[in-house]
Amino acid sequence: MPHALHRATLALHTPLGTPLAGDTLFGQLCWALREAAGETELCRRLEGYTQGSPWLVASDGFPAGYLPKPTLPQHFAAPTDDPRQRKAAKKQRWIPAQHTGSTLGALLASAVDDATAYGHAPRQTVQTHNTLDRLTGSTGEGIFAPYSVAQTFHAAGQRIDVYLVLDSERVSAAETAQLLAALGSAGFGRDAGVGLGKFTLVSFEVAAFAVPAGASAWWTLAPCAPQGLGFAGPKSYWRVLTRFGRHGNALALAGKPFKTPVLLAAAGAVLTPSDAFTVRPFVGQGLGGSGRLSRAEAATVQQGYAPVASIALETAP
């Protein structure tokens, strides 16, 4: 089926209680579709999802104009004996999107830090919450003990890019834009009901990444599940991410809101095929279904796909 890459640019208006991760965003877009068109329509869109045919694949949210730095061993970068330079290089975790067609050396040399990519680096804070015992009118112990939760503050109106791969036979760009706008109005992630995760959709357009000469691997833009897909292990690099999933919407209030934990490769993974490389919009697989992820809803699936750009590993020093 035809899959096309699009870029949505969001403007953040409130702090985030949950990071803008691609698999989480996909789950909330599924709930948004269910609210707008009904459960039957959502089930229709999810047909074939665990058989390599996703209706939509969402990336993480990145500072506008940037992509996550590829996860590669240090020897791929220009060598340096200065510990201060190595420490600074670890903070340079964003690559300008216009450099995707560059050689690997030039690509890694273009990396910038949070302050450059965002304009103002995001600020992590902790907010204390209280739960009152209605019998005593105060906090206490156990479920009534005060607790703290993390929040991420961005500059007002911070622009964030999200890349989405759409199956044009099952979802249009216009409908996806409407779902994103609805999600931004309701709020993304944890504590949306008390004002977190609000954003507006600034633009939604077709996108494409330049392909470097000699491209040989895929560079992922969201957590994905590469297990058993035939990637060349010695030539692939990733950071392991354990996702302890939790249901949203009505199922968040169910007796069993937690999903089965899954192992993923974090965004920025570099995956090399065992056979010939071809340019493609996404890699990975759909997870779940048939009760494998959830006891509360047997049909639950999780995004194990990721939009990708191309990278040429053979140009590394």
Per-residue pLDDT tens over the stretch 129-179:
677 767 777 777 777 677 677 789 899 899 999 999 999 999 999 999 999
pLDDT for 80: 65
Residues 246-256 have a mean pLDDT of 70
For 72-231, list the strands marked E by DSSP. Answer: 94-96, 123-129, 147-153, 159-167, 199-206, 217-220
Name the one residue in this structure whose structure tokens are 């053979």. 314
Residue 74 has pLDDT above 90, yes or no: no
Tokens linked to 208: 């494409």
Beta bridge partners of 9: 161, 203
Separation between Cα atoms, residue 305 and residue 285, nearest integer Å: 5
Confidence of residue 260 (pLDDT cuts 50, 70, 90): confident
pLDDT at 87: 76
pLDDT recorded at residue 317: 42
- Residue 109, phi then psi, degrees to nearest 5: -70, -20
- Residue-level pLDDT at 316: 41
- Rounded to 5 degrees, φ, ψ at 204 are -145, 115
pLDDT(249) > 50: yes
Q: What is the pLDDT of residues 81-110, one digit of tens each?
A: 666 777 777 889 999 999 999 999 999 999
Q: Where are the beta strands (DSSP E) in 69-190?
A: 94-96, 123-129, 147-153, 159-167
Give the contacts of 263 (CB within 8 A, at least 6 positions apart): 225, 227, 240, 241, 242, 243
Evaluated on CA atoms 247, 251, 257, 260, the torsion sign reads: negative
Note the pTM of the prediction, 2 decimals.
0.90
Q: Which of 192-196, 222-226, 271-275 has the lowest mean pLDDT?
A: 192-196
Of 150-159, 274-283, 288-297, least confident by mean pLDDT is 288-297
Q: What is the pLDDT of residue 78?
A: 67
Mean pLDDT value across residues 72-89: 74
For residue 19, pLDDT over 60 is answered with yes
Q: What are phi and psi of 265, to 5 degrees?
A: -95, 120
Contact 5, 163 (CB under 8 A): yes
Looking at per-residue pLDDT, the higher value among 244 and 231 belongs to 231
Mean pLDDT of 253-280: 89
State the Cα–Cα distance between residues 248 and 78, nearest whole angstrom. 44
Residue 251 has pLDDT above 80, yes or no: no
Does residue 271 have a pLDDT over 80?
yes
Mean pLDDT along residues 251-275: 87
Residue 150 near residue 125 (C-beta atoms within 8 A): yes
- Cα dist from 22 to 146, 290, 307, whole Å: 31, 23, 9
- Cα 279 from Cα 212, distance rounded (Å): 11
Question: ∠ CA 249-253-259 to the nearest 5 degrees?
Answer: 80
Q: How confident is the model at residue 268 (pLDDT cuts 50, 70, 90)?
A: very high
pLDDT at 27 over 50: yes
- Backbone φ and ψ for 151, nearest 5 degrees, come out as -135, 150
Rounded-to-10 torsion of CA 233, 237, 243, 248: -110
Computed over every residue of the chain, the mean pLDDT equals 89
3-class DSSP state of 21 = coil
